[in-house]
Amino acid sequence: MKRLKIYILIFCVTLSIPLAYLIFRTYEGLGQEETGKLRYFAETLFYEMEEDLTSIVLKEEARGIDEYNYRFTPSGLIPGSTETVPSPLSELPEKNYILGYLQNNPDGSFQTPLVESGKSVSSDRSALISQLEDANRIFNQKRLAAADTVKASLNEIPIKQEEKTGSGFADKYLDLSESQKPKAYLGRKEKRVEQITVGQALKIIPKDQDKKLITRREGSESGSGRDLSWYTKEQIPEKFEESSVAKPERKIQIHEGAERELRSAPSSETEKYQVEVAPLQSIFINDDQVFIFRRIMINKQIYRQGFIVQVKAFLNHLAETHFVKQPLARYTNLSLKIKNQGIETEIVNTGAAAERVNFIINRTFPSPFTFLNATLLCDQIPRSASRGTLNIIIVILAFIIFIGLFAIYKSAQAVVDLSERRSKFVSSVTHELKTPLTNIRMYIEMLEQGIARDQNREQDYFKILGSESARLSRLINNVLELSKLEKKQRHVNLKAGTFDEVVQGVEAVMGEKLKKEGFTLIVNTDDVRPFKYDREVMILILINLIENSMKFGKTVAVREITLKLHHDVDGVNISVSDTGPGIPRHALKKIFDDFYRVESALTRTTGGTGIGLALVKKFATLMGGTVHAKNNDGPGCTITICLPQPLPAH
């Protein structure tokens, strides 16, 4: 048995190592899948934010350059039309995070589409205009360094970082290293050139700085060969205003030192000028305001058009629009920060608190929002549904393996125990056979030697010889019956009979021995109705039970054995009760096993083979019944045989 335990232990260790590795790798794969899913949806969240920012940039870049005046010329009008309409920017901004729109002129002056030129500011807009003026004043102070700031911001490469513990499962299918490279810019990547009319140009240029571009080359008609550039109306030489002078060719400077010729002598209203429009840039006005603007260059004169973003309101808008209402917010934390002159400040922190960071992904957005950084944290990555299935399978598998090994162990233990009991049975049978044979031989020798001096003594010897012979016969018969039952060669013949017939057969066999041992047999029947049973088998069952009670009840003062018959709805119950020491609780079910004997001082001093009660159970089962044992409330125990009987017809 020890060797079997060692084999089972080796088997468990050998099996557990590959299973543990398989489970570990499976959980690792699920972890990568869970992290990959969270990474995908986090990047989707940032993508949606970036799309929102892109829509803002594209909308602003699509605006006409004269929309920053109170009135502007809409596109799509008939050439030569002078019709103007109020600018869309003349209304208060719809978005709460946009303070207002303004234009910064080359000389640092300020104009906004919220106020019509030449008219007073309304009371409901005076505070807003004052804030825009303050922002313009601060911008003028910073714009000397703005070129360097903008240049640095354009050179910044937006980052997208995340913690990775190894290659993800998606890497086996797609190489996203190229497609995931961050965009350098949300809107246009390069400067663009637009054509505007003189009327549009005059709307951009402040009234007190109204200029007119006159470039004239004197040819054969003028003879001077001089080029004229920008002049105020008061500075234009008189000879160029003479009606006899040919109309000049007009040029517009696109880049510094570069010129492009336009059509000769266009009218002042239909003439097209080309202006250079730079991509959107950003500069901090203060900790809560950012000026996002574009540069407009007309003949080396730079105008800056844009809007003031209120940072906190803007970041709250991004968080509430794209994160707060999402299921992602229940288990992740979003942090939105701004970076101003190298100092990073957290503005918005929302979502679930992250005590231990198991997942992090960062995103710095492209220009003009390079000042904005988003970080998504998670301390408990959502579990995959497959993990629950895997856990159940592991538990079931572990349970099956445990039950299988336990069953193997118990089966082996039962085989070993049975083998040990068989060995003890052989020894017990040898002893049980030897005892009556020795007694028979001894009394025969005594009779042969004439030790019995009178006839009465001879009769006693003959009775003893008969008793020992019957005992030997019963023992041999039990062994034979057990062999037949194991080979399923024993059959029963059920016939209707009364219990009295059985009692008579038992008393005929056991009466003399009961009297000799001092036992009283009490028969208690409450119903004399016949029932079906095999008479020979039933007598053999009761003899075995009575012998068992006599064997273990020799030491008690009151020696009684009670046979009881009781009919109920389930059939017939036949019970044998004694006043002996009873049966240990742990052995109440085991006593009917083959060759089983309770290990106690009493059983070691009494004889027996361990097949009597086993035969009782096998015979009861053969007749379709059951058998069970229980200890009495007082001394002794009761063994009951239940035989099913058909209900009588009504």
Same domain, 497 and 532: yes
Same domain, 43 and 166: yes
C-alpha span between 309 and 131 (Å, rounded): 12
**Which range is most confident: 117-126, 164-173, 265-274, 374-383?**
374-383
**Of 150-159, 172-181, 206-215, 541-550, which gets the smallest average pLDDT?**
150-159
pLDDT at 402: 86
Same domain, 412 and 390: yes
Q: In terms of pLDDT, which residue wins out, 417 or 34?
A: 34
Is the pTM for the entire model greater than 0.85?
no
Flag whether pLDDT at 121 surpasses 70.
Answer: yes
Residue 478 exposed, middle or buried by CB count within 10 Å (0-12, 13-18, 19+): buried
Flag whether pLDDT at 342 surpasses 60.
Answer: yes
Q: How confident is the model at residue 312 (pLDDT cuts 50, 70, 90)?
A: very high
Which spans in 156-295 are helix H? 198-204
pLDDT at 369: 92
Same domain, 439 and 508: no
Backbone angles phi, psi at 458, to 5 degrees: -60, -40
Q: Indicate whether 470 belongs to any domain.
A: no
Q: Indicate whether 286 belongs to any domain.
A: yes
Q: In terms of pLDDT, which residue wins out, 287 or 598?
A: 287
Same domain, 178 and 210: no
Distance from the first to the final alpha carbon of the chain: 59
- The domain tally of the chain equals 4
Last residue of a domain, one of 249, 277, 305: 277
Segment 255-268 mean pLDDT: 36
The DSSP bridge pattern shows strands 520-525 and 560-568 to be parallel
Backbone angles phi, psi at 606, to 5 degrees: -110, 155
Q: Indicate whether 220 belongs to any domain.
A: yes
C-alpha span between 199 and 391 (Å, rounded): 75
Domain that holds residue 140: 11-118+125-187+279-378
pLDDT at 236: 36
Flag whether pLDDT at 540 surpasses 70.
Answer: yes
Q: Indicate whether 473 belongs to any domain.
A: no
Helix, strand, coil fractions of the chain, as percent rounded to 5: 45, 20, 35
Q: Indicate whether 479 belongs to any domain.
A: no
CATH number for the domain including 564?
A: 3.30.565.10
Who's near 438: CB < 8 A, 6+ residues apart? none
Q: What is the mean pLDDT of the chain?
A: 76
C-alpha span between 71 and 249 (Å, rounded): 30
Last residue of a domain, one of 408, 440, 461: 461
Structure tokens at 609: 């083979």
Flag whether pLDDT at 497 surpasses 80.
Answer: yes
Q: Indicate whether 471 belongs to any domain.
A: no
Same domain, 545 and 635: yes
Last residue of a domain, one of 461, 478, 512: 461
**pLDDT tens digits, one per residue of 358-405:** 899 999 999 899 999 999 999 888 888 888 888 898 899 888 888 888
Q: In terms of pLDDT, which residue wins out, 385 or 638?
A: 638
Same domain, 504 and 581: yes
C-alpha span between 324 and 319 (Å, rounded): 6
Q: How confident is the model at residue 50 (pLDDT cuts 50, 70, 90)?
A: very high
Residues 626, 630, 632, 635: is their CA dihedral positive or negative?
A: positive
Backbone angles phi, psi at 437, to 5 degrees: -65, -40
Same domain, 443 and 569: no
Q: Indicate whether 224 belongs to any domain.
A: yes
**Of 27-36, 163-172, 212-221, 383-392, which gets the smallest average pLDDT?**
212-221
Flag whether pLDDT at 170 surpasses 60.
Answer: no
Q: In terms of pLDDT, which residue wins out, 339 or 489?
A: 339
pLDDT at 600: 61
Residue with tokens 């360097």: 148
Do the beta carbons of residue 602 and residue 581 sit within 8 Å? yes
C-alpha span between 582 and 634 (Å, rounded): 9
Same domain, 272 and 321: no
C-alpha span between 269 and 396 (Å, rounded): 87
Q: How confident is the model at residue 308 (pLDDT cuts 50, 70, 90)?
A: very high
The C-alpha angle 378, 379, 384, rounded to 5 degrees, equals 80
Same domain, 267 and 149: no
Q: How confident is the model at residue 234 (pLDDT cuts 50, 70, 90)?
A: very low
pLDDT at 509: 83
Same domain, 341 and 368: yes
Q: How confident is the model at residue 208 (pLDDT cuts 50, 70, 90)?
A: low
**pLDDT tens digits, one per residue of 187-202:** 556 677 776 666 666 6
Task: Name the nearest CA neighbour of 10 among 339, 405, 298.
Answer: 405
Residue 18 exposed, middle or buried by CB count within 10 Å (0-12, 13-18, 19+): exposed
Q: Indicate whether 478 belongs to any domain.
A: no
3-state secondary structure 607-636: CCCCCHHHHHHHHHHHCCCEEEEEECCCCC
Who's near 323: CB < 8 A, 6+ residues apart? 45, 329, 334, 350, 351
C-alpha span between 24 and 1 (Å, rounded): 34
Question: CA-based diameter of the chain, in Å?
Answer: 186
Same domain, 301 and 162: yes
Segment 396-419 mean pLDDT: 83
Who's near 238: CB < 8 A, 6+ residues apart? none
CA distances from 120 to 13, 70, 115, 156, 569 (A): 91, 13, 8, 43, 110
C-alpha span between 50 and 72 (Å, rounded): 31
pLDDT at 267: 44
C-alpha span between 42 and 180 (Å, rounded): 14
